Amino acid sequence: MLPATALVEHAREALLLTVALSLPIVAVAAVVGFFVAALQAASQIQDATLAHLPRLVAVASALAFLGPWMGTQVATFAERLFLMAH
């Protein structure tokens, strides 16, 4: 591979990895936000804390649960890039 082509390929892989790692967290935030919005619409409680606190807790829990997997994916990608450079 040419160096420019390899750089573009690695950048593409890095962007896909970023999307793959952020998608579960964004999905958790969206699902929890949807349920909180439905609950607020049904109960007519329009408190800002009620809208953000469950989403914050859900995202923090998802990060704590998925963090090791995410770290492994990033470390594997970085290791592969460093081994190719030598």
Model pTM score: 0.81
Mean pLDDT over each residue of the chain, to the nearest integer = 91
pLDDT band at 77 (very low <50, low <70, confident <90, very high): very high
Examine the pLDDT at 47 and tell me if it is beyond 70: yes
Helix %, strand %, coil % of the chain (to 5): 90, 0, 10
Buried b (16+ CB within 10 A) or exposed e, 32-68: bbeebeeeeeeeeeeeeeeeeebbeebbeebeeeeee
CA distances (Å), origin 52, targets 12, 21, 56, 75 = 33, 22, 6, 32
- pLDDT confidence tier of residue 46, bands split at 50, 70 and 90: confident
CA 3 to CA 15: how far, in whole Å? 18
Q: With a cut of 60, say whether residue 25 has pLDDT above it.
A: yes
pLDDT value of residue 2: 53
pLDDT at 1 over 70: no
